[in-house]
A and B are shown apart, each in its own frame.
Chain A
Amino acid sequence: MEGYARPVKKLVEELSKLPGIGEKTALRLTFHILSSPKEDMEELARTILDAKESIRLCSICFNLSDSDPCGICSNGHRRERRICIVENVNDLLAFERSGFRGRYHVLHGVLAPMKGIGPEDLRIGELVDRVKREEVDEVIIATNPDTAGEATAIYISKLLKPMGVRVTRIAFGVPMGSDIEYMDELTLNKAIEGRREV
C-alpha cells in the first residue's frame, strides 16, 4: 500500500474486514467511493448507521428486525403452531422464499465443540422456554444436513420430545435438478430412507 494517501489506506483496511472482500476488491470499492458523488456516499454512510442502530433481535424468534416482535411473529395470518428451527437468518430467508408460512426460531449457530460453541451459546434455552410457553403442534428442525447440524438436531429433539411436542426433521436426499449418477452413497441412502409413496 505504498504511495497511497493515509485515508485511502485506512478505507481499504476497513473494507477488507468485510467477509469475502480481499485487498484488491477493497481497493476497487475505495476508488468507486472516491469517484462517486458526495451525496450518494453520505446516503450510504447514513443507511449503514441507520441499519446498525435500528436492527435488533426479535425477542420471540431471534430474527433480525426493526420491530419487536418481528413482522413474522406478529403476523396473525401465519400458522402459529408450527415452528421451523433454522441455524441463521439467511436460512430463514431461504424458507420464506420457498413459501413456508409457519413461524421460525433462529439458533444463531450450531453445536461446534472445537470452536467452543455449546448449547448455552445458542438460542436453545429460549426455544425450550418458548415451547413450554406457547401452544406448539410441531417443531421442524431445519439445521443443515452436515455433521454439526445433525448433532444439533438430535440434541434439540431429545430436549423437546419429552415435552410432548411433535418434532420433525426436514427431508434429505437428492436435490431437484441433480444427477443421481453423481450422488454420493450417504445422500442416496438418505434418499432411500426418506422415500414416499406416489
Chain B
Amino acid sequence: MTKPQRTEAIVIDSFDYGESDRIVTLYTRIYGKIKGMAKGARRSRKRFQNTLESFSHVMVEVKGRGKGLYWLNYSVLLEGFEGIMEEVERFTYGNLLLEMVHTLTGEGYPVPGLFHLLLSYTRELSRTHRAGALTLLYAFRLLSILGYGPHLSRCVRCGRPSEPLFHLREGGLVCRDCGEGAVRVSPGLVRSIKVGLAFPLRAIPRITVSGDQMEEGFGLLEGFIEYHLQRRLKTFRFIEQMGGRRDAGKDLSGNHP
C-alpha cells in the first residue's frame, strides 16, 4: 500500500509507545486485523482525539508499513459506544470477545463477515443488560466464522444421531458410543448455541440463556479455545477475579471478593 487508504475499523486494543505515540490494533473492514502506529496520538487534539479507545468504531486513514506496522494518519470517531463503559459487566465480557478476535485472527487476512459481526456485537453490547449471554452467543458465532465452529448436529465422529456430549478435541457433539473423553452439556445450551449460529445477527439479543447455561457455556467456550490455542485467554482469569460467569450484574460489577 503506497497511497494512504481510508477504511472503517473497530479498535481492539492500544498501548502507549514512547513519549506521545500509541500503537493500536484495529479490525478493519478492508484489511482485517492490522497494527498501526499513531504518531503523537496522546498529544494530538485534532487527528486522534478520543478515537483510539477499545470498542470505538472509527474511520482511519492508513499508509504503508514500517517495521510491520501501518502508519495511522488520522482517525474519526463514527460511534463511541460509551454504554460499554457504563457497566463493568459489559466492559468485561466485551474484552473477552475483543481478545478472541485479537488472538484467533492473523494480521492482514480479512475474514468475510467478521467486521460486520464485531460492529453488530459492540452496538448490542452497549445497550444490553445481559452482556454475558450476548457475548456467549456471539463468541460461538465468531468461532464459526473463523472456521472453529462447533458441530452440533450429528455425531462428529461416526455421523449417527448425537447425544448432549461435547468432545473438545473433535470440536462437536458425539454419540454415546463415541463419548469417551467428552463432557456432558445441557440440551438447552446446545439449542441456544444452535439458534445463535443459525439466526441473523439481529436476532441474537432475543435468545434466552439461563444462569446455569451461561456458566456451562462459558466453561465449554473456555475449554474449546484453550484446546485450540494451548493457552488460557487472560480475560477468563479476569472474569474469575470479578466473581464468576453468570449474567447477574451484581456478580460482575460490585461485590469485591
Which residues of A line the B interface, CB within 8 A?
A: 19-20, 111, 113-120, 124-125, 128, 146-148, 150-151, 154-155, 158-159, 175, 178-179, 182-187, 189
A116-B237, A117-B238, A118-B242 given; A178·B13 CB < 8 A? no
Q: Which one of B93-101, B175-183, B189-197 is at the interface?
A: B93-101
Contact in complex: A147, B253 (CB < 8 Å): no
How far, in angstroms, from A117 to B238 measured CA to CA in the complex? 7
Q: Which B residue sits closest to A21, measured CB to CB?
A: B18
The residues of B that contact A159 with a CB separation of less than 8 Å are 254, 256
Q: Which B residue sits closest to A157, measured CB to CB?
A: B254
What per-residue 1/0 map shows which CB atoms of B7-22 lie under 8 Å from chain A? Answer: 0000001000011000
Name the contact of B253 in the complex, choosing from A118, A120, A154, A182 (C-beta under 8 A): A154
The residues of A that contact B234 with a CB separation of less than 8 Å are 113-116
The residues of B that contact A182 with a CB separation of less than 8 Å are 45-46, 49
What per-residue 1/0 map shows which CB atoms of B88-106 lie under 8 Å from chain A? Answer: 1001100110110010000
Q: Which A residue sits closest to B254, measured CB to CB?
A: A158
How far, in angstroms, from A146 to B81 measured CA to CA in the complex? 12
Q: Knowing that A147-B53, A184-B80 touch, tell me 14 more A-B residue pairs with CB under 8 angstroms.
A: A111-B88, A111-B238, A115-B234, A118-B237, A119-B257, A146-B53, A147-B54, A151-B88, A154-B85, A154-B86, A154-B87, A159-B256, A182-B46, A187-B50
How far, in angstroms, from A147 to B13 measured CA to CA in the complex? 11
How far, in angstroms, from A178 to B50 measured CA to CA in the complex? 14
- 30 A-B residue pairs with Cβ-Cβ distance under 8 Å, sorted by A, are A19-B18, A20-B18, A111-B238, A113-B95, A114-B102, A114-B234, A116-B234, A116-B235, A116-B237, A117-B238, A119-B242, A124-B256, A128-B256, A147-B84, A150-B85, A151-B85, A151-B88, A154-B86, A154-B87, A154-B253, A155-B253, A159-B254, A159-B256, A182-B45, A182-B46, A185-B77, A186-B50, A186-B80, A186-B82, A187-B49
Q: Which A residue sits closest to B48, measured CB to CB?
A: A184
Contact in complex: A118, B241 (CB < 8 Å): yes
The residues of B that contact A115 with a CB separation of less than 8 Å are 234
How far, in angstroms, from A154 to B253 measured CA to CA in the complex? 8
A128-B256, A178-B45 given; A120·B241 CB < 8 A? yes
A113-B99, A114-B99 given; A154·B241 CB < 8 A? no
How far, in angstroms, from A155 to B92 measured CA to CA in the complex? 11
The residues of A that contact B46 with a CB separation of less than 8 Å are 182
Q: Separation in Å of the A24 CB from the closest CB of chain B?
A: 13
A20-B18, A114-B234, A182-B49 given; A147·B55 CB < 8 A? yes
* B51 within 8 Å of A (CB atoms): yes
A-B pairs, 8 with minimum CB distance: A118-B241, A158-B254, A116-B234, A113-B95, A150-B85, A151-B91, A113-B238, A113-B235
How far, in angstroms, from A128 to B256 measured CA to CA in the complex? 9
Greatest chain B CB density within 10 A among A20, A148, A183, A186 is at A186
Q: Separation in Å of the A125 CB from the closest CB of chain B?
A: 7
Contact in complex: A114, B88 (CB < 8 Å): no
Contact in complex: B256, A119 (CB < 8 Å): yes
Q: Which B residue sits closest to A179, measured CB to CB?
A: B45
Q: Separation in Å of the A26 CB from the closest CB of chain B?
A: 14
Contact in complex: A158, B241 (CB < 8 Å): no
The residues of B that contact A116 with a CB separation of less than 8 Å are 234-235, 237-238
The residues of A that contact B87 with a CB separation of less than 8 Å are 154
Q: Separation in Å of the B198 CB from the closest CB of chain A?
A: 29
What per-residue 1/0 map shows which CB atoms of B46-69 lie under 8 Å from chain A? Answer: 100111011100000000000000
How far, in angstroms, from A179 to B53 measured CA to CA in the complex? 21
Contact in complex: B51, A184 (CB < 8 Å): yes
Name the contact of A20 in the complex, choosing from B19, B239, B253, B257 (C-beta under 8 A): B19
The residues of A that contact B96 with a CB separation of less than 8 Å are 113
What per-residue 1/0 map shows which CB atoms of B138-181 lie under 8 Å from chain A? Answer: 00000000000000000000000000000000000000000000
Contact in complex: A186, B253 (CB < 8 Å): no
How far, in angstroms, from A117 to B242 measured CA to CA in the complex? 11
How far, in angstroms, from A159 to B239 measured CA to CA in the complex? 17
